[in-house]
């Protein structure tokens, strides 16, 4: 199936500018129609899915470019090992982001519980810095 620039960008929740940039730097393959407009196909979809996954775990664009370059080369053990190193490094980054997200969610769960206790009248409202005295030196982020 073929997709226009607009359809392709919408499919991935990104901008036409981003898609255009990816094609301009030879990161994302596309064809051109008779009017020289970019046309995307199922191969383009596969590449964009890979790019999207790598970006979502924080892979720098230069590493994504290198990964895609390696994918376009003839298969070899050296090539496979180079791609593996990129993926291994990003796997560690993804796990680090997951730990950070978990810590943030736990913090927000504690804040929700504290607000619920305040709303239920179980504890005084100590979340407003305007009500603190100098001795308390609390933070609403505790």
pLDDT along the chain (142 residues), means of 10: 96 96 94 95 96 90 93 93 94 90 96 95 87 60 58
If one counts the domains in the chain, the total is 1
pLDDT at 130: 78
Output Rg (C-alpha) for the chain, integer angstroms: 24
Classify residue 59: in a domain, yes or no: yes
Classify residue 74: in a domain, yes or no: yes
pLDDT at 136: 53
Name the strand (E) or helix (H) holding 52. Answer: helix 42-56
User: Do 87 and 53 meet the contact criterion of CB atoms below 8 Å apart?
Assistant: no
Range of the domain at 16: 5-96
pLDDT at 9: 97
DSSP state letter for 125: -
pLDDT at 141: 58
pLDDT at 140: 53
């Amino acid at each position: 199936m073929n997709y226009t620039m607009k359809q392709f960008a919408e499919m991935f929740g990104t901008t036409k500018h981003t898609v255009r940039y990816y094609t301009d730097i030879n990161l994302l393959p596309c064809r051109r129609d008779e009017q020289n407009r970019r046309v995307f196909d199922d191969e383009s979809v596969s590449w964009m899915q890979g790019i999207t996954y790598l970006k979502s775990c924080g892979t720098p664009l230069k590493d994504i470019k290198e990964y895609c370059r390696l994918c376009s080369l003839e298969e070899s053990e050296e090539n496979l090992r180079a791609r593996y190193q990129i993926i291994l490094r990003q796997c560690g980054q993804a796990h680090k982001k997951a730990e950070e997200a978990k810590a943030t969610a736990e913090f927000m769960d504690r804040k929700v519980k504290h607000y619920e206790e305040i709303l239920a009248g179980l504890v005084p409202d100590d979340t407003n810095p305007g009500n603190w005295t100098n001795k308390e030196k609390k933070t609403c982020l505790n």
